[in-house]
A = this chain, B = another copy of it.
Amino acid sequence: MKLAILFGGASFEHEISIVSAITVKEKLRGFKLEFIFCDQDHTFYQIDASKMRAVTFSKGEHKKMPKLSLIKGGFEKKSLFSSEVVGTTVLNLIHGADGEDGIIASLLDFYHIPFIGPRTDACVFSFDKRYTKYLCDALHVKSVAYETMNKNDERKIGLEYPVIIKPARLGSSIGVSIVKNESELDYALDVAFEFDENVLIEPFINGVKEYNLAGCIMDGEINFSIVEEPQKNEFLDFEKKYMDFSRSATVSSAEIDDKLVSDLQNTFAKIYTNLFEGALIRCDFFVVDGEVYLNEINPIPGSMANYLFADFSHTISRLLTSLPNRKRASVDYQYIHSISSAKGK
């Protein structure tokens, strides 16, 4: 089975995308894999599998490898007298900007390249935490209360302290702060506004139970992973999360009853269905007084949440045969013809 792993991107999560790609490579040993690296200037390179190590990129060695350009149907490699097209289905593994904001999905879609990953609209609803809130409200999925603030707004909040402040559009805890009282507010906002013009403010709930669940629709049905209770820190900082992206050992299921598993699965299904088809996503939930709250949608989870699936290779190979088809309009110039003939031209 062939698959091209696309990773990198002009993103604060560029480096963890490299780590993800290296991890996924190990987990998909039965596949015939290609590796396509997108550097921070948006140049694509074809990376030899044997060079898939972090230092290849940090030392700039990828620049000596073949450049690729997008053309209809794939990535083209040109030499002086010939050209070759990498036309394999792509696994979009670019975390953060480019990969999760809809840019890469749009590119692959425009160039008719089939891919595993969230489509443009699914990206917009999961990348910006404000829009995830809009989605939850519309779908009647519970999520914690929130306020938004733009960098030009007055720095006043209505929620009670402690609150958690997040840049609206970044993952991996970058720029996130817990604010215990008003005196800490300004600094936390300064930090968050370094990364985004908009921030999301939520109450910080202490001692909340957290559960992660991944899945994807295959042959019309959602294939769920096990439910994991992630290790708790106050919250994951970037360096810890970074290491988290290289996870590959299968974890054990959270010790929760069947009712909660089914509540988590039902909430996942509400979010996923009719929006995330084609993607393997991980939803991170809070459980408060037995009620399920959506915390975050990871439309391209770190190392594809491989560690949550008993048979990750099998999941990816089945997903590959269940990708959505985009319906395209066909143009027949009927109106222009009828108008031209009415004008006698």
Q: Is A293 an interface residue (CB 8 A)?
A: no
Q: Is A335 an interface residue (CB 8 A)?
A: yes
Does A150 make an interface contact (CB < 8 A)? yes
Q: Is A14 an interface residue (CB 8 A)?
A: yes
Minimal Cβ-Cβ distance residue in B for A333: B58
Chain B residue nearest to A98 (CB atoms) is B110
CA distance A49 to B103 in the complex (A): 31
User: What's the nearest-Cβ distance from chain B to residue A7, in Å?
Assistant: 13
> Which residues of chain B are within 8 angstroms of A133 by Cβ–Cβ distance?
138
Is A250 at the interface (CB under 8 A from chain B)? no
What are the residues of chain B within 8 A of A16 when measuring CB–CB? 335
User: Which candidate, A180-188, A298-306, A313-321, A324-332, is the interface stretch facing chain B?
Assistant: A324-332
Which residues does chain B contribute within 8 Å of A288, judged by CB atoms? none
Interface residue? A198 (CB, 8 A): yes
Do B97 and A103 touch across chains, with their CB atoms under 8 A apart? no
The answer on a CB contact under 8 Å between B102 and A42 is: no
Number of interface residues of A (CB under 8 A): 64
Which of A43, A133, A138 is most buried by chain B, counting CB atoms within 10 A of its CB?
Answer: A138
With the chains together, A102 CA to B72 CA distance in Å? 18
- The answer to whether the Cβ of A107 comes within 8 Å of any Cβ in the partner chain is yes
The reply to whether A72 and B42 contact each other, CB–CB distance below 8 Å, is yes
Q: Is the CB of A111 within 8 A of B42?
A: yes
Question: When chains A and B are docked, how far (Å) is the Cα of A124 from the Cα of B55?
Answer: 38
B54, A112: Cβ atoms under 8 Å?
A: no
Task: List the one stretch of A227-235, A278-286, A336-344 in contact with chain B.
Answer: A336-344
* Residues of B contacting A42 in the complex (Cβ-Cβ under 8 angstroms): 72, 110-112
Q: Assuming A333-B58, A340-B58, is B121 touching A128 (CB within 8 A)?
A: yes
**Closest CB in chain B relative to A328 CB, distance in Å:** 5
Q: Contact partner of A102 among B106, B111, B138, CB < 8 A?
A: B106
User: Out of B70, B106, B111, which one reaches A120, CB within 8 Å?
Assistant: B106
Find chain B residues with CB under 8 A from A244 CB. none
21 of the cross-chain contacts (CB-CB < 8 Å) are: A40-B329, A54-B339, A58-B333, A58-B337, A69-B69, A96-B329, A97-B328, A101-B121, A102-B120, A102-B121, A103-B109, A106-B107, A120-B124, A121-B131, A130-B138, A134-B134, A134-B137, A137-B137, A197-B274, A242-B335, A242-B339
